[in-house]
Structures are given as C-alpha cells and as structure tokens.
C-alpha cells in the first residue's frame, strides 16, 4: 500500500524537481541538444546496461555514420555491428535496424507519437516507449527504468519486489499520478538524473538531495532497503578454448553463425569444453583436452598444428546468463588450405566486427 501524496505535495515535488533540473540537469549530453525522436531513441537504447560516459563517444560516432533513420534502415549489418563494437548486447542494434525499417516502411517514415504505438516497434519496451513519447512528443507517461525504480521506491517506501514483472505496473501507475503534465519529458529526465546522482544505489547523498524533504526512506534511515529486489540467478559458467593459429597468411579467422550468441561477429575458433567432455565423471587433464582440440582443429578446419597453452590466467567475460572462462591456445603453422574459416592479416581483420571477448583475447596475446 503506497502512502500517496496529496495534490499540494505533488505540485511542490514537481516544482522542486524541475527547478533543480533547470539549474543542474545534464544539458551537455549530446542527445539532449534537441527532442528529435531518432536521437532520443538511439541514446535510450545505447544507455541500456551501459554507463553515460561510455555511451557519449559511441552516440556521437553513430550519429555521424547514421545521421537519419533511413541511413540506419539501409545500412549493411556489418557496418552496424562495427559501429556498436564494444557496447555489448548486440541484439539491441539489430533490433534498432528492424524498428527503423518498420518506421520507414509501415509508418511512411513518420514516427508514431504515443507510448502505445511505439511499443509496436521491434526492441522498444515500455520504458523506451515512454521515454521517447514523453521527451519527443510530450505525452505525460512515466519512463520507469532502474533509476525510477530506485527513486520512487525510496520516496514512497515501496516494498514491491522490482524483480517481479508485475511490479512495473505499480511504479507506472504511481508515475502517472505525479508526473508533470506540462513537462513530462523533463520530469522523466530529472528522475533519471536524480537516480544517477543524489539517489544512486550506493554512496548516495540524500542530505544534499533537492528532494530530501519528500524522501520517506531518508526520513527514517531505511534507504539501503529500497528498492526491494530478489537476486537473479548466477550466470552459468562455461569453459572455452580460443585458438590463435598464425600462418604467413595471417590468423585463422571466422564469422560466427547468423543465430545464437555473438551472431555474425568475427572471432578466432572457439571450442567449449563440452564439445569434448560429454561424460561428467570423466577426469580430463589440460594436456588431454589440448590433444582433443588439436584433433578437432584438423577435422573442422583442415589445419594440422601443435597447440601450446598461453601462460597466465584465462580470459573471462560475463554475459547475462553465462560466464565464459577462455584458455588461449597458440600455434604457428605454414599456410594451409582451409576447410572452414579464412586466413586474415591483422590489418584486414581489424575491419571486421569483433565481440568484447575477442578484444580481451587480443589483449592477452
């Protein structure tokens, strides 16, 4: 049960929040230069799971490469993946291109201007739809993201578990009651800024917060308890071998399949330990696994090589549901005809879109 403010308190909160935003809001952010829906959309997708300072150079480069929705809709996928390289969660940019084509083809290039219509576009969920609708089209709908969950939960001491999908409705309905009807986009952006400054998850500074007087959790010292969120399951550990095979023609290099994790990216050959070990009771030594990998290399790629384990710790990388631990195996061979993959010089392969795990492998090498 939420102890809802009266109309006077809501009005005071709106004024306090927006007065602070007008003075301290991050107007220097490149996507806030105007309210163009394309720019708002690109920034909101990039900011998912990614820090603001990381996004800024990516956003500016993306806008240079794909300045309009039509440029994005017609771009080759490899160019898109290269532009997104390093941001991770690559399904985001693939879905962006699908949505761009929807707007171009189904809406004659004119953006839908309501939250409900925007949710019909690929990759646009309730939060992103509300952000675009409020910022670009002034629709008074709350954009409920991690910042809004945290801010609202502390302001009202909301005990609902934000890990439960049904909880979003609780926060959305609350947001509908307190959002400023005349400046909904600024209101949503002010909540975002508040959640990333005075009301962060850790090291928050409620004493100096512009909305301190409205913060029920601060009043009784319970901010650490909000928002309520059950822990997600730990990512599944998976052991891989990466094969850094070098010949006079370059490195053995291949494009991953069009489906699955890291689809269409370029990497060195990657073998999961489960490719060799089907018996959970088998006790394989590292030397035995390297020999098995050599046999797979010869069978799959037509390359005969003696693999050597690179010294030092394995490379690790965490995806949403998986944690990869990658041991790098190296070999230098004569140029051999390939059954699969290609030989690529370091100069040429630099132009191929590569996932973060491959960047880490290069760093280890």
Tell me the sheet residues that pair with 322: 236
Alpha helices in 210-285 (DSSP H): 216-219
Alpha carbon distance 90, 97 (integer Å): 12
One of 7, 28, 44, 85 is an active-site residue; which one?
A: 44
Alpha carbon distance 295, 209 (integer Å): 62
Alpha carbon distance 207, 212 (integer Å): 7
Sequence-separated (6 or more) residues with CB below 8 Å from residue 143: 127, 128, 130, 131, 134, 175, 188, 191, 192
Residue 195: closest CA among 151, 237, 162: 151
Alpha carbon distance 310, 246 (integer Å): 14
Residue 73: closest CA among 49, 42, 114, 47: 42
**176 exposure class (CB count in 10 Å sphere: 0-12, 13-18, 19+):** exposed
Alpha carbon distance 93, 81 (integer Å): 7
- Tokens 């171009």 belong to which residue? 104
Contact call for residues 147 and 194 (beta carbons, < 8 A): yes
End-to-end CA distance of the chain: 56
Respond yes or no: is residue 44 known to be catalytic. yes
- Tokens 């059950």 belong to which residue? 230
Residues listed for the chain: 365
CA 94 to chain CA centroid, nearest Å: 12
Handedness of CA 151, 155, 156, 158 (dihedral sign): positive
Residue 188: closest CA among 137, 228, 154, 237: 137
- Annotated catalytic sites, by residue? 44
């Amino acid at each position: 049960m939420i102890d809802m403010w009266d109309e006077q308190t809501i009005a005071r909160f709106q004024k306090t929040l927006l007065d602070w935003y007008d003075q301290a809001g991050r107007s220097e952010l490149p996507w806030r230069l105007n309210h163009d829906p394309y720019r708002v959309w690109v920034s909101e997708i990039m900011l998912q799971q990614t820090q603001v300072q990381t996004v800024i150079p990516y956003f500016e480069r993306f806008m240079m490469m794909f300045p309009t929705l039509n440029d994005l809709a017609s771009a080759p996928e490899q160019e898109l993946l290269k532009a997104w390289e390093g941001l991770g969660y690559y399904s985001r940019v693939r879905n962006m291109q699908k949505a761009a084509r929807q707007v171009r083809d189904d809406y004659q290039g004119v953006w839908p201007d309501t939250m409900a219509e925007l949710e019909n576009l690929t990759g646009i969920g309730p939060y992103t739809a509300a952000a675009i609708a409020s910022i670009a089209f002034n629709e008074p709908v709350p954009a409920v993201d991690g910042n809004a969950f945290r801010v609202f939960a502390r302001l009202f001491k909301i005990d609902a578990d934000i890990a439960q999908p049904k909880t979003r409705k609780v926060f959305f309905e609350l947001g509908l009651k307190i959002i400023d009807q005349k400046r909904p986009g600024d209101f949503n952006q002010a909540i975002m800024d508040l959640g990333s400054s005075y009301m962060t998850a850790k090291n928050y500074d409620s004493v100096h917060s512009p909305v301190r007087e409205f913060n029920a959790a601060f009043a009784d010292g319970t901010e650490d308890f909000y928002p309520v969120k059950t822990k997600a399951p730990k990512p599944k550990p998976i052991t891989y071998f990466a094969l850094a095979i070098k010949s006079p023609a370059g490195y053995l290099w291949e494009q991953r399949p069009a489906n699955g994790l890291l689809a269409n990216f370029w990497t060195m050959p990657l073998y999961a330990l489960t490719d060799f070990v089907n018996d959970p009771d088998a006790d394989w030594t590292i030397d035995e696994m390297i020999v098995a990998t050599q046999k797979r290399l010869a069978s799959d790629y037509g390359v005969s090589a003696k693999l050597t384990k690179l010294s030092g710790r394995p490379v690790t990388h965490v995806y949403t549901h998986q944690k990869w631990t990658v041991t790098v195996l190296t070999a230098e061979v004569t140029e051999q005809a390939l059954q699969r993959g290609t030989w690529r010089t370091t100069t040429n392969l630099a132009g191929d879109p590569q996932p973060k795990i491959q960047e880490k492998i290069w760093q280890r090498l």
